[in-house]
Amino acid sequence: MRKNPIITGTVILTATGIISRIIGFFYRIFLSQNIGEEGMGIYQLLAPVMALSFSLTAAGIQTSISKHIAAYEAKGQHRSSIAVLLCGLFLSVFLSLAMGMVLFQYSEPISSYLILEARCAPLVRIYAISLPFAAVHSCINGYYYGLKKTAVPSVTQLIEQIIRVLSVYIIFFHCKKHNLVPSVSTAVVGLVLGEIASSLASILALTGNKRKINTSPGNRYFPAAEYDILKQLKPLLLLAIPLSVNRIVLNFLQSIEAVYLPKQLCVFGLSNSQALSIYGVLTGMALPLILFPQAITGSIGVLLLPYVSEADAKGNSARISKAIFSSTGFCLFMGFCAALLFYIAGPFLGNFLFHSDEAGLFIRSLSFMCPFLYLGSLLTSILNGLNKATHAFFINVLALCIRLICIFMFVPHMGIRGYLFGLPVSQIAHCIFNFLALKKYIYYNRRG
């Protein structure tokens, strides 16, 4: 493992991801017990704003930085690597500052007319502060991913999660000690503090590597003219724009899903408070528990991506086919075990972890989609490894559209049951179309 930086890096990221997910899971339990079901619903409504903002300011730029740096480093063009990093940093920070100003200035109309929940306005304003720090953190992570050095991104990810959780714990305990009522805004403050800490840690790691980076004859750190930063803008954008557009489309559809589910529950006859409570229990309690085993299947997907990429480059269809069938078998086995566990223990887990009977019922209802949920994410990783990102994008859009149809057609007449019906249907469709996109390799195995 020491001789292969890809495997070493993947293992580091996998371990970090699992630790972060465990921390995040217990953090959600803490939040649910302190801000309540409706508070969780309001907090979850901020997710679309977060996803769209990140897509517009950093997501595509990070991936573009990573890919260009990997290419430059392979050719020994270290100065161009630094130029790409600086160009991406300037661009991402500029976009994030502009986006932050928009969110801060127009938080009330955004909350009232886009999120459809006026109480989200203070959350949006607080979140806007985190955008420049998130941009810095993201770009520096992209730089290290391009170098195939995952220690810094892994450590900063843990720092972000730990600072976020600790800061919220401290604020909540301080409020209780002084008989104050903690608000939902506290959770967003923790998010901002976590991003600030991770960005500072990233900058320290980068500047700590000064001697290795500063190899120019001029002996100046990051000399702009020498590294031709502006020349990197066009190639950076050529890759970042389509990546960002794909993310924006997916996040836009997910935003519609998140915003309109509570509103369609109101059409069904629930009050706004009841609808937000149900939404908070579903998305803030039940779904994170159902998704928890995905930390393992997601890790397998991360490992498989370079594996199938290498096999595809060598034209080794047998190796790809074997990877698909073996990983599919493992995911289905794990999915059915998880489904059985969640179905039997769902009510107990809902009460024990979240003190919510409703969470237990949702966990049991969602248990049926576990095999398809875990398998779908793994098949998507395989498609990306085979350079079929466009196929994966359209399949994801299709699955989202199925859920949106259920929200607008079934939820007003069936309540949350209409959405609980749509979730497994969308996941089954997601798996079927993934298999159709991989039929060449499945057929190869059958033929062999």
pLDDT digits (tens, 9 = 90+) for 280-295: 999 888 998 898 888 7
Mapping DSSP onto H, E and C, the string for the chain reads CCCCHHHHHHHHHHHHHHHHHHHHHHHHHHHHHHHHHHHHHHHHCCHHHHHHHHHHHHHHHHHHHHHHHHHHHHCCCHHHHHHHHHHHHHHHHHHHHHHHHHHHHCHHHHHHHHCCCHHHHHHHHHHHCCHHHHHHHHHHHHHHHHCCCCHHHHHHHHHHHHHHHHHHHHHHHHHHHCCCCCCCHHHHHHHHHHHHHHHHHHHHHHHHCHHHHCCCCCCCCCCHHHHCCHHHHHHHHHHHHHHHHHHHHHHHHHHHHHHHHHHHHHHHCCCHHHHHHHHHHHHHHHHHHHHCCHHHHHHHHHHHHHHHHHHHHCCCHHHHHHHHHHHHHHHHHHHHHHHHHHHHHHHHHHHHHHCCHHHHHHHHHHHHHHHHHHHHHHHHHHHHHCCCHHHHHHHHHHHHHHHHHHHHHCHHHHCHHHHHHHHHHHHHHHHHHHHHHCHHHHHHHHHC
- Residue 269 confidence (pLDDT): 93
Evaluate if residue 4 carries a pLDDT over 70: no
**Interval 214-253: pLDDT, tens:** 444 444 444 444 457 777 888 888 878 887 888 889 889 9
Domain regions of the chain by residue span: 1-241, 293-448
Tokens of 272: 């706004």
pLDDT at 448 over 60: no
In the predicted structure, residue 176 carries a pLDDT above the cut 90 = no
Name the residue with higher pLDDT: 146 or 428. Answer: 428
pLDDT of residue 214: 46
Average pLDDT of the chain is: 85
Rounded CA separation 140/149 (Å): 11
Q: Where are the beta strands (DSSP E) in 32-123?
A: none
Lowest mean pLDDT among 8-12, 258-262, 358-362, 408-412: 8-12
- Considering only residues 215 and 61, tell me which one the structure prediction assigns the higher pLDDT: 61
Average pLDDT over residues 356-371: 92
pLDDT digit string, tens, across residues 409-432: 999 999 999 999 999 999 999 999
Query: Minimum mean pLDDT among 59-68, 151-160, 220-229, 262-271: which range?
Result: 220-229
Residue pointed to by tokens 């998130």 = 134
The answer to whether the beta carbons of residues 304 and 377 sit under 8 Å apart is no
Average pLDDT over residues 319-343: 89
Q: How confident is the model at residue 180 (pLDDT cuts 50, 70, 90)?
A: confident
